[in-house]
Structure 1
Amino acid sequence: MKHLILSAALVAAMGMSSATYAQSQNAEIGYERGSLGFEALMANDNHRALNQILTDKSTAPNDPARLINLGRAHARLGDKEKARQAFLAAANCKEEFDLVLSNGQIMNSRKVAALALKSLGQ
């Protein structure tokens, strides 16, 4: 099962500690650097994160980690409907895997997506 690191923004929005930052060397683990917009989200550069995620060709469009970070970028930019759509897609994605949080907690991508939806008030 894959273990990934997501942006701290998503995890913080869910009321948890930030995603592992030092371990990831400020980049995605198991993905091409920038493909999930991780560094841009960490820097609160949401337009750059959105652009990186949308233009990346190395990650499948239905990858849960991509969808979760896409949703977070949309949410931060104020587009709650696009965020909701991305989080729902991640929650209902055929593929699922575990995400490693900075506190060592491992959480299933579907649960992360469900918590992200909840953070939108959905």
Structure 2
Amino acid sequence: MKLMLAAATAAAALLAGCATSPTQQAEIGYARGSLGYAAMTKGDWQKAESQLMRTNQDDPARLLNLAQVYRVTERDLAARDLYAKVLEEDDMQLVLSDGSVVSAHTVAKSALQTTATAARN
């Protein structure tokens, strides 16, 4: 399992529940804007999606953030597809903006459970 430094906003929202500032250094190891972090923290989902669509399609941090954009914009089926895709790939560790480290697979599993529960209600 490799360690990748990324600010996965989806992971932060799902697991840590922390609010982060868009001024914090957030996309460590990634080109600025490539994970849509600042746009997501500002609630600019359209801009975040646009930024995420221009980056490496199979990167777990990107997939998790794009899935979060889909969830917030009420595209739960598309989000679930992305979480499943993360689980199909090799796991990696993500460093969140608050400094905590979390497994991409853990985030995806948690998110799938959350979306499945929401779909039943």
**Superposed displacement of residue 104, structure 1:** 4.2
The alpha-carbon distance between structure 1 residues 101 and 32, as it changes in their structure 2 partners (threshold 3 A), is: closer
Q: Check whether the contact 1:71–1:86 (CA below 8 A) recurs between aligned residues.
A: yes
1:5 aligns with 2:1: no
How far is 1:11 from its partner? 2.4
3-state DSSP class of the match of 1:121?
helix
1:103 CA displacement: 5.2
* Offset of residue 47 of structure 1: 1.2
Aligned mates of 1:92, 1:23 — CA distance in 2: 33
Q: How many residues align?
A: 115
SS of aligned partner of 2:80: helix
Which residues of 2 match residues 32-51 of structure 1 at below 5 A? 32-51=31-50
How far apart are residue 18 of structure 1 and its match?
A: 2.2
Aligned to 1:87: 83
| CA 1:19–1:38: 2 relative to 1, 3 Å | same
Matched residue of 2:12: which SS?
Answer: helix
Q: How far did residue 24 of structure 1 move?
A: 4.3
| Cα pair distance change 1:51/1:23, threshold 3 Å | closer
| Aligned CA distance change for structure 1 residues 2 and 34 (closer, same or farther; 3 Å) | same
Q: Is the Cα contact below 8 Å between 1:18 and 1:102 reproduced in 2?
A: no
TM-score by length of structure 1 reads 0.79
C-alpha distance in structure 1 between counterparts of 2:97 and 2:30, whole Å: 18
Residues 22-101 of structure 1 aligned to structure 2 (within 5 Å):
24-25=24-25, 27-54=26-53, 56=54, 59-94=55-90, 96-101=91-96
CA RMSD of aligned residues (A): 2.3
**Is the aligned partner of 1:119 residue 2:121?**
no
Whether the aligned pair in 2 keeps the contact of 1:20 and 1:100 (CA below 8 Å) is no
1:112 and 1:19, CA in 2 relative to 1: closer, same or farther beyond 3 A? farther
Q: Which residue type is aligned with residue 113 of structure 1?
A: A
- Structure 1 residue ranges without an equivalent (≥5): none
Moved beyond 6 Å, runs of 4+ = none
For structure 2, the residue ranges without an aligned partner over 5 or more in a row are: none
Classify the secondary structure of the residue corresponding to 1:62: coil
Please state how far the C-alpha of 1:102 moved relative to its aligned partner. Answer: 5.1
